[in-house]
Amino acid sequence: MQDLARRLAAGDRRALARAITLVESTRPDHRAEAVALLAALPPRQALRIGLSGTPGVGKSTFIESFGLMLTGQGLRVAVLAVDPSSARSGGSILGDKTRMERLSRDPRAFIRPSPSRAELGGVARRTRETVRLAEAAGFDVVLIETVGVGQSETLVAEMSDLFVLLLAPAGGDELQGVKRGIMEMADLILVNKADGELRPTALRTVADYAGALRLLRKRPQDPEGFPKALPVSAVEGGGLDAAWAEMQALDRWRRDNGRFDRRRAEQAERWFRAEVRAGLLARLDREPAAGSLDRLGTEVAAGRTDPVAAAAEMLRLLE
Amino acid sequence: MQDLARRLAAGDRRALARAITLVESTRPDHRAEAVALLAALPPRQALRIGLSGTPGVGKSTFIESFGLMLTGQGLRVAVLAVDPSSARSGGSILGDKTRMERLSRDPRAFIRPSPSRAELGGVARRTRETVRLAEAAGFDVVLIETVGVGQSETLVAEMSDLFVLLLAPAGGDELQGVKRGIMEMADLILVNKADGELRPTALRTVADYAGALRLLRKRPQDPEGFPKALPVSAVEGGGLDAAWAEMQALDRWRRDNGRFDRRRAEQAERWFRAEVRAGLLARLDREPAAGSLDRLGTEVAAGRTDPVAAAAEMLRLLE
């Protein structure tokens, strides 16, 4: 384990891939090794950028263009995905490789698809650990992408330093479709496809979102002017440098004001508490608890025991 | 406890109110009494009707009119609320009494506002138990109402025999606003305000929803023609008898086909499993676990311990 941690810290990509496979495993012995590995990692910090965008907004093209711009500046970029649907479709792995072909061949980039686990909580747990592994392996920027499905955006925002929303040019009606909660989490709204015929619509959409963002109460974690809306063109590359400059400016302000450290501290504590809860509930899947749960569940379904009384009995067995 | 169960079974309203206060209490000795009480209840079954409608659709007026129609037929009606927001606003109790003034004075009716607990899961747990208490007290119909907030509709559908969606007359665009998942849970969609000037719009909205419902796959738990959309007027009372006839027809079909019992059995088993999970997690709030959790949480936030390692330590303490 110390050897894997050492090779990982030296930036060895194969060690990183092996470590990720280890944290994604559900085997108890692997889990114990993963816990030991995570505790042995050097305390490096990347800039963690959460990125949400529904299919069709050009998210893969954006990640490829944005990622290549960063690696072109000498930065090392890891791309991780949180996609609760990929477990079922299974198409995410192939998709990531084909859609981000140039970035996937870049030696400064590392792309890892969503762990194939149907349950969102499980995906989030393993992705948090993968973020730590990528940081320890010396990556400067960790992009955590998600589709806007259910709670996945909240979970990704919860493990990011900055949260970016990628949207398509849209009319006023569609603007309403972005939930207020998501708007409130966003540090930066990027309206993609600000090129060719769509450019005027994209610019108008930027103005609409900028107006909507001004209506939200100013947040203590933000300097003047944030959150912001900007136009980008993933296909032509326009606006990517400006978007990156805004991300860096916001990151610098938060670091200077202690907001960065405070957010990381709060996230780490919430992560710890979520791990404890998940670990506690996992005991219900182990024998002999799992068998008792099934037996009592059958009794309850058959109407021979009251649900609350059966639960009290089950909890006594778990004392 | 046996005495309270006996008085409750005799239909004593004060005993019911006391029993509800007991199940809503978080004191450990009260909880033990509540568990014993629930196990001692007679196995009576009311028709449990879940009702969802956002503020403004006339839900209180509908419940008052519909409830009075049922009590007018000699039926005893209990109205319970699942409102995750009422804990904060605190306005629900006063609101229920004023908005359903006639029903609240009806000796055959019993109205109980949402338990004041901020967390939706807690509200759902206590409401499930209150439903059982109302059934044991001999109520024929238990109406469980909720506002369409977050997961509250799913939780109410999960504790109901029938799930009814009350909607306002609307244009085509607003129709899109009803989430597909909610549509799929609904057994009956009632479009309110089918009176006066709004009547044509209401009838058109009924046709729109009926069309949308036909697009959904037919469900094995439904006879031909269900789920249905119907117009009602809570203010004038129009359509309420037709709506009740449809509810009874669907209920009878499901009972005859074993669907009613199967649904109750599945709900009871899920309730049991949810109780076990909640009870297990509640151990984290008890000493000495709570103190250890806080101490380790502080260590993690300060960066002195890794979240995953700290969680592993906490779980060892809980063995």
Asked whether residue A111 is assigned to any structural domain, the reply reads: yes
Q: Do A269 and B301 touch (CB under 8 A)?
A: yes
Of all residues in chain B, the one with the smallest CA distance to A285 is B277
- Same domain? For B36 and B83 the reply is no
Long-range contacts of B107-110 (CB under 8 A, 24+ apart): B108/B71, B108/B74, B108/B75, B108/B76, B108/B77, B109/B67, B109/B68, B109/B71, B109/B76, B109/B77, B109/B78, B109/B79, B110/B13, B110/B16, B110/B76, B110/B77, B110/B78, B110/B79, B110/B134, B110/B137, B110/B139
- Same domain? For A62 and A169 the reply is yes
Note the ipTM here: 0.84
Q: Do A284 and B276 touch (CB under 8 A)?
A: yes
The pLDDT assigned to B212 comes to: 84
- Per residue of chain A (319 residues), what is the pLDDT tens digit? 678 999 999 999 999 999 999 998 888 899 899 999 998 998 899 999 999 987 788 999 999 999 999 999 999 999 998 776 644 444 444 455 567 889 999 999 999 887 665 566 677 888 999 999 999 999 999 999 987 666 788 889 999 999 999 998 986 556 656 777 788 889 999 999 999 999 999 999 999 889 888 887 777 778 888 999 999 999 999 999 999 999 999 999 999 999 999 999 999 999 999 999 999 999 999 889 999 999 999 999 999 999 999 999 999 999 8
Rounded to a whole number of angstroms, the distance from the CA of A35 to the nearest CA of chain B is 6
Q: How many domains does chain B have?
A: 3
On whether any CB of chain B is under 8 Å from the CB of A262, the answer is no
pLDDT digit string, tens, across residues B193-237: 999 999 999 999 999 889 888 887 777 778 888 999 999 999 999
Q: What is the mean pLDDT of residues B10-24?
A: 93
- Same domain? For B131 and B172 the reply is yes
Q: Helix, strand, coil: what percent of chain B each, to 5?
A: 60, 10, 30
Asked whether residue A264 is assigned to any structural domain, the reply reads: no
- Same domain? For A123 and A233 the reply is yes
Residue B211 has a CB neighbour count (10 Å cut-off) of 11
- Same domain? For A216 and A237 the reply is yes
C-alpha span between A144 and A114 (Å, rounded): 10
Asked whether residue A71 is assigned to any structural domain, the reply reads: yes
Mean pLDDT rounded to a whole number for chain A: 88
Q: What is the DSSP string of A94-114?
A: HHHHHHTHHHHH-TTEEEEPP
- Same domain? For A74 and A10 the reply is no
- Same domain? For B134 and B60 the reply is yes
Amino acid residing at A165:
L
On whether any CB of chain A is under 8 Å from the CB of B290, the answer is no
The residue among A31, A272, A318, A319 with the most chain B CBs within 10 A of its CB, best to mutate, is A272
Asked whether residue A266 is assigned to any structural domain, the reply reads: no
C-alpha span between A207 and A202 (Å, rounded): 9
pTM above 0.90, yes or no: no
Q: Do B306 and A34 touch (CB under 8 A)?
A: no
Rounded to a whole number of angstroms, the distance from the CA of B279 to the nearest CA of chain A is 7
On whether any CB of chain B is under 8 Å from the CB of A293, the answer is yes
pLDDT digit string, tens, across residues B236-246: 999 999 999 99
On whether any CB of chain B is under 8 Å from the CB of A289, the answer is no
- Domain of B13: which CATH number? 1.20.5.170
Q: Do A272 and B310 touch (CB under 8 A)?
A: yes
The pLDDT assigned to B173 comes to: 58
On whether any CB of chain A is under 8 Å from the CB of B120, the answer is no
- Same domain? For A73 and A207 the reply is yes
| Interchain CB contacts (distance < 8 Å): A and B | 119
Which DSSP state fits B120? H
Asked whether residue B279 is assigned to any structural domain, the reply reads: no
Q: Do A308 and B269 touch (CB under 8 A)?
A: no
Q: Is the separation of the CB atoms in A155 and A81 below 8 Å?
A: no
Asked whether residue A270 is assigned to any structural domain, the reply reads: no
- Same domain? For B49 and B131 the reply is yes
- Same domain? For B94 and B183 the reply is yes
Pairing of strands B77-82, A109-112: unpaired
Rounded to a whole number of angstroms, the distance from the CA of A1 to the nearest CA of chain B is 15
Asked whether residue B266 is assigned to any structural domain, the reply reads: no
Q: Do A306 and B277 touch (CB under 8 A)?
A: no
Amino acid residing at B295:
R
- Same domain? For A31 and A148 the reply is no
On whether any CB of chain B is under 8 Å from the CB of A291, the answer is no
pLDDT digit string, tens, across residues B38-60: 989 988 999 999 999 877 888 99
Asked whether residue A2 is assigned to any structural domain, the reply reads: yes
On whether any CB of chain B is under 8 Å from the CB of A290, the answer is no
- Same domain? For B121 and B224 the reply is yes
Residue of B265, B271, B293 with shortest CB distance to A276: B293
Domain end point (choices B210, B242, B257): B257
C-alpha span between A74 and A69 (Å, rounded): 9
C-alpha span between B87 and A24 (Å, rounded): 39
Its domain, for residue B240, covers: 43-257
CA triplet A253, A66, A254: central angle to 5 degrees?
10
